[in-house]
Amino acid sequence: MTADRDGLSASEIATAVAEQRLSALEVTEAALGVIASTRADSVIAYGGGSTIGLGKAIALRTNLPQVVIPTTYSGSEVTPILGETQAGLKITKRDRQILPKTVIYDPELTVRLPVAVSMASGLNAMAHALEGLYAQDRNPVSTLQALAGVEALHGALPAILANPANRAARSAALYGAWLCGTVLGTVGMSLHHKLCHTLGGSFGLQHAETHAVILPQALAYNEDGARAALAPLAGLFGPRLGAGLFDFTARLGVPLSLRALGLAESDLDRATRIATQNPYCNPVPVEPAGIQRLLQAAWAGRRPD
Q: What is the pLDDT of residues 41-69, one digit of tens each?
A: 999 999 998 889 999 999 999 999 999 99
Task: Name the 3-class secondary structure at 91.
Answer: strand
Of 83, 124, 135, 151, the residue nearest 215 (C-alpha): 124
| Residue 2: pLDDT over 50 | no
> Which are the contacts of 233, defined by CB distance < 8 A and separation ≥ 6?
130, 133, 147, 150, 241
Digit-coded pLDDT (tens) for 246-283 = 999 999 999 999 999 999 999 999 999 999 998 899 99
pTM of the model: 0.89
| Residue 36: pLDDT over 90 | no
Specify whether the CB–CB gap between 262 and 299 falls below 8 A.
no
Amino acid at 120: A
- How many Å apart are CA 274 and CA 23, to the nearest integer? 20
Specify whether the CB–CB gap between 70 and 52 falls below 8 A.
yes
Assigned fold of 114-300: Dehydroquinate synthase-like, alpha domain (1.20.1090)
Digit-coded pLDDT (tens) for 83-139 = 877 666 777 888 989 999 999 999 999 999 999 999 999 999 999 999 999 999 999
The whole-number average pLDDT for the span 272-299 is 95
Provide the pLDDT for residue 88: 66
Digit-coded pLDDT (tens) for 182-230 = 999 999 999 999 999 999 989 989 999 999 999 999 999 999 999 999 9
In the chain, where are the structural domains located? 5-103, 114-300
Q: Which CATH architecture is the domain 5-103 placed in? A: 3-Layer(aba) Sandwich (3.40)
Q: Phi first, then psi: give them for residue 67, nearest 5 degrees.
A: -120, 130
Provide the pLDDT for residue 90: 74
Provide the pLDDT for residue 83: 81
